[in-house]
Amino acid sequence: MSQAWWGTHIAVLLLSWCGFMGLALAMIRHQEDVFDREMAPRFTYTMRVLGWLLLGVAAVVAVQQLGWGKGLAAYSGHTSIAAGLVLYFFVLIARWKRR
């Protein structure tokens, strides 16, 4: 396992996490959870575009570095982990705000 192998997986995971965070922040419900208000439509649109763009970049990085088979399998796993981390983040925020 080379250093580049770990770097690829970390990059795909971080890109996926940022992408899902962007998509989550494009939702009014999550904007209210994080910012205590609904954000401007331009912010919502930007987060949605940025989220999808980052998920696409993560897929390209995975496939370029690991090949089609392993890359898509790794991408699927990393997006699952990233989505779970984003969900956990919003659960923590909700619990923290209830205190």
Q: Residue 77's pLDDT is what?
A: 97
pTM for the model = 0.91
Q: Residue 3's pLDDT is what?
A: 60
Which DSSP state fits 89? H
Q: How many CB atoms lie within 10 A of CB 29?
A: 9
What whole-number distance in Å separates Cα of residue 52 and Cα of residue 19? Answer: 6
Q: Residue 9's pLDDT is what?
A: 95
pLDDT by residue for the chain (99 residues), tens only, comes to: 556 778 999 999 999 999 999 999 999 999 999 999 999 999 999 999 999 999 999 999 999 999 999 999 999 999 999 999 999 999 999 899 888
What whole-number distance in Å separates Cα of residue 71 and Cα of residue 15? Answer: 14
